[in-house]
Structure 1
C-alpha cells in the first residue's frame, strides 16, 4: 500500500482539482505542503499573512480528502490520516486556539493562529486583524 498507488493518486488528484486546487494536488505533494508549513511555523513563519493563510489551504484540502466518500474505499487513506495527524499534533502545540471563531470548530487549524512568527506575519496580523502574536527573533531579524 502506497500513497503513490496510481489509482489512489488519480482519484485523489481528481477530487482536489474539482475542488479548485491547481497545484500540489497529489497526496504526497499536499501532505508535504502541510508538513512544510508546520515546520516553518515551528521555526517562526517567515512569510506574510497572505502566505500563511494560503498555505493553510493544504490542511483544509487534506480534510476534504479525508472526509470524501469517494476516497474511503482506498486503504491508503489510513496512511494519509496517520501522516496528517503527525503534523497536526505539532501544529496544535504552537497555535492559540479560537482566534478566528467564525470558522467551524472542525476547522481548528483555521480558527487558531501561530503563537509566534517572523516580523511580517506579526505586524500584518496586528494591523489587519488586531491579533497579537510574539515575534520570533532570529539572528538579524
Structure 2
C-alpha cells in the first residue's frame, strides 16, 4: 500500500497542482492564508482567490474515495477544521450566492483586508469591506 502522503499527492496532482502537493504543504498554505486574513489580507483579488484554492484542494482530498478510511485522513480533517474555525468568523457569508454552499470558503469574502483587495472588490463586485492599514514604523 502506498503511503498516505504519496496517495494524497497523487490526488492533488491529478487536479493539476504540482507545487505544495503534500498534506502538510497544502495545509500550511491554507493555514498561512488564514493567518494573513486574520491580520488583513494584503494581496489583490487574484492572489486571494489563488490562496483560497488551497482549501479547495484540501476538500478534494478529504472527500476523495481513494483516501477514505485512512487514519491519516481523519487527523488531516481535524487539522483543517481547526483552521476553518479561524477563517469562518472572518467572512461575510454568501457574497457569491451562485457558488455552491459546500464551498463556503469561496462563497464568502473577508470582512477586513488591505487597501488593494478592498479596492479590487469594490471595483469588481461593489463590495465594501473594512480597510486594514499597517501601522507606521516608529
Q: TM-score, normalised by structure 2?
A: 0.95
Alignment match, 1:33: 29
| Alpha-carbon separation, structure 2, partners of 1:13 and 1:132 | 38
Alignment match, 2:79: 83
Deviations 1:79-128 (A, max 9, x none): 10010001100000110000011110100000000000001000001011
Q: Within the alignment, does 1:48 sit opposite 2:73 as a pair?
A: no
> What is the CA distance between 1:68 and its match in structure 2?
0.5
Q: TM-score, normalised by structure 1?
A: 0.93
| Alpha-carbon separation, structure 2, partners of 1:23 and 1:31 | 13
| Alpha-carbon separation, structure 2, partners of 1:90 and 1:109 | 12
Task: State which of 5, 14, 17 in structure 2 corresponds to 1:21.
Answer: 17
How many residues are treated as equivalent by the alignment? 135
| Alpha-carbon separation, structure 2, partners of 1:64 and 1:131 | 29
Unaligned runs of 5+ in 2: none
SS in 1 for 2:18: coil
Over the residues paired in the alignment, what is the CA RMSD in angstroms? 0.9
Question: Would you identify which runs of 4 or more consecutive aligned residues in structure 1 move more than 6 Å?
Answer: none
Unaligned runs of 5+ in 1: 1-5
| Alpha-carbon separation, structure 1, partners of 2:87 and 2:12 | 23
SS in 1 for 2:69: coil
